[in-house]
Chains A and B, each alone.
Chain A
Amino acid sequence: MLPTRSRLSVLVFLLPPLLLYGAAVLFPILQSLFLSFFSWNGISDMEFIGLANYLRMFTGDDVFWRSFFNALGYLAICLILQLGGALFVASLLTSLRRGAELIKTLYLLPAVISTVAIAFLFVRIYSIDPVGLLNQLLHWIGLGDLERAWLSDVNTVLAAVSAPEGWRFTGLYMLIIYAALLAVPKELEEAAILDGASRWQLFTKIRFPFIRPVWITTVIMATTYGLRGFDIPYLMTNGGPGQSSELLTTYMYKTAFTSTDFGYASTISVFIVIECLVAVGLILVMLKRKADA
């Protein structure tokens, strides 16, 4: 603490940031919680209905549950592509003696491109007429039977809208994990190799435990980003066909701005926030406990 600070100076520095943060983030969270107990279409008077919105969400709304499970599927695909892919590529990259900088840059390229551009791009990649990249590739490697309109097939559409999100950010997580892997002390690795450790043992016994704190951070980042996924499914399919690629976020958005049911949309928002907090809590408990064991 500065010896000459005064209560006033703390307030002068703290108040402006808290005002912006409060107005944009904290207050809206409370407002959503408040609105979730009302029925309101934005025009007529607000009507207090207690827990009716929550009751409707948990017991009477199939679309909600459908969106919830879709969102979990979306999250799973994103996590596998982003974290699995990132860990794999980062490990491979440590064995490279040159060119790592260039590969990092290229690998990160998709992360700087807007979701609208990515949505356009993948609509064409999945397309069947004219034949897109994916279908053409399947045709060439003799899997022509699998050719299909990936975005209108109810069985593939969820995976098809999740993959671009995974593709987009895998580079970001790869960077972080690669930086952590480079920080593993060389003496530790060399000692393990002298003791006859295999590459797999080297990874599971030395490297991974060493990068665990960073791994926890990346898992949390990827999970919270996965749970807020919205742009790409919204732009590519708008949740369709039917509800087969509807996520909680897109469902909330449509409830709010297409059906103008602000009360119920806020209830879904509250659920999404709680879901994120629970997810982060679970990750911390699970990964921390393993670390102690």
Chain B
Amino acid sequence: MTAQAAPVTRTISALPSSSPPYRSRRRPSLYRTLSKTLIILIVIVQVYPLAWLFITSLRTEHDFATGDPFALPAALTLDNYARAFQTGNLGLNILNSFIVTMGANVLIVILGMMAAYAIQVLGFRLSHLVRGLFLIGIIVPVQIALVPLFIDYSTVNLLDTYQSMIIPLAGFSLPMSVYLFSSFFEYIPRETYEAASLDGAGPYRIFGLITLPLSVNTVVTVVLVNSIFIWNDFIFANTFVLSEELKTIPLGLQNYIGAMGKVDWTATFAAVCVTITPLLLVFLVLNKAMIQGLESGATKG
């Protein structure tokens, strides 16, 4: 969890000193100083709740119930973490989230690449229609699928399985993946394909030997962008999964709300801290790639 606190303290200490006005070549304008102050303020508002979440998870229960919420904790304790692990199945929840995220990502990457290959590289008469179909999935809200899928799942016995979460999560993420892959495939020069064709390579060999190996970067982008949404999915899991053994992180966290609405808040916050760590770590390590992916997701999609 230090990974979460570290960047927070770093901004506060590093930002004001990072570009002292007297060192800059141009005269520091009032506008620049003002906007710098504003940015720092806004970033604090944006990040403070998360820092507070972490600090609270280290407070004693008594301190939390009585103290000033902004004050630093009187004493630090890890009891909350111990209770958090006792109350729930955090390890299992994380494992389940991992399985669902992996499963959905495999589908999104492979199928997205295949669809983009068919639309962009092979080409066919109705390709515009297919592109348009995929646009629907970006516009319509995911809730539309809840009732029909619930009914369909109960007829084919898929309720309460990993697949029940993976299928809609992959389905609704597929359009973005198709668009990202097709916009990348546009950049692969036609001549590459034509040369390969002249050498006798068919569409399958070209896919395996040219398109696939060139797409590694786009695969990373697609996986990073979609993982945020899939890892944090609440609505599909909440609708289709009932048994404890299959609960993903968002559902597992709900267990911390006690039977009579009595909540052990400090333990809950500890559990929240544990569950947000995996994705947060990935994000902090890969944030350049992720940010670049999110930007291209919007501009190309």
Residues of A within 8 A of B (CB): 1-6, 9-10, 12-14, 16-18, 20-21, 23-29, 31-32, 35, 42, 85, 89, 92-93, 95-99, 101-117, 120-122, 124-125, 130-133, 136-137, 167, 170-172, 175-176, 179-180, 199, 214, 217-218, 220-221, 224, 227-228, 230-231, 235, 249, 252-253, 256-257, 262, 265-266, 269-270, 272-273, 276-277, 280
Contacts and interface: CB of A to CB of B under 8 A. Distances in A.
A216 B253 CA distance: 36
Contacts of A167: 46, 49
A3 B196 CA distance: 10
Nearest to A250: B143
A114 B294 contact: no
Contacts of A9: 122, 202-204
11 contacts: A2-B197, A14-B124, A20-B170, A21-B111, A21-B133, A31-B148, A95-B35, A102-B7, A121-B53, A172-B294, A277-B140
A37 to B, nearest CB: 14
B22 interface: no
Nearest to B269: A120
What are the 5 tightest A-B residue pairs by CB atom distance, in nearest-first order?
Answer: A24-B171, A228-B141, A28-B148, A31-B148, A1-B123
Interface stretch (B73-81, B82-90, B214-222, B274-282): B274-282
B209 interface: no
B143 A24 contact: no
B295 interface: yes
A165 B64 CA distance: 26
A4 B204 CA distance: 10
B197 A18 contact: no
A29 B144 contact: yes
Contacts of B150: 256-257
A142 B246 CA distance: 49
A180 B300 CA distance: 12
B298 A17 contact: no
B137 A21 contact: yes
Contacts of A13: 114-115, 117-118, 122, 203, 207
A103 B43 CA distance: 7
A4 B203 contact: yes
A214 B11 contact: no
A277 to B, nearest CB: 6
A172 B224 CA distance: 14
Given A32-B144, A99-B18, A130-B66, A26 B133 contact: yes
Question: Which range holds the interface residue count of chain B?
Answer: 35 or more
A3 B67 CA distance: 73
B137 A20 contact: no
Nearest to A125: B49
Contacts of A133: 49, 52, 69-70
Contacts of B133: 18, 21, 26
B118 A14 contact: yes
A105 to B, nearest CB: 5
B72 interface: no
| Secondary structure call for the A interface | helix
A221 B298 contact: yes
Interface string B29-54: 00110011011001100110110110
Nearest to A265: B147
A121 B265 CA distance: 10
B5 interface: no
Nearest to A5: B122
A12 B205 CA distance: 13
A172 B148 CA distance: 31
B203 A26 contact: no
Nearest to A8: B203
A131 B68 CA distance: 7
A132 B294 CA distance: 33
Given A132-B69, A266-B147, 13 more contacts: A10-B122, A17-B112, A25-B136, A35-B147, A85-B42, A95-B36, A104-B287, A106-B46, A111-B228, A112-B232, A114-B250, A179-B295, A253-B143
Contact of B144 (A17, A101, A120, A273): A273
Contacts of B272: 117, 120-121
Contacts of B64: 130
Given A109-B46, A269-B143, A24 B149 contact: yes
Nearest to A167: B46
A26 B201 CA distance: 35
Interface string B113-141: 01101110111100000100110111111
B39 A103 contact: yes
B183 interface: no
Contacts of A28: 144-145, 147-149, 152
B1 interface: no
A109 B52 CA distance: 14
B174 A17 contact: yes
B253 A114 contact: yes
Contacts of A104: 287, 291
Given A25-B137, A262-B151, A96 B144 contact: no
Contacts of B152: 28, 31
B270 to A, nearest CB: 11
B15 A115 contact: no
Contacts of B148: 27-28, 31-32, 35, 266
B118 A117 contact: no
Contacts of A20: 107, 111, 167, 170-171, 174
B53 A105 contact: no
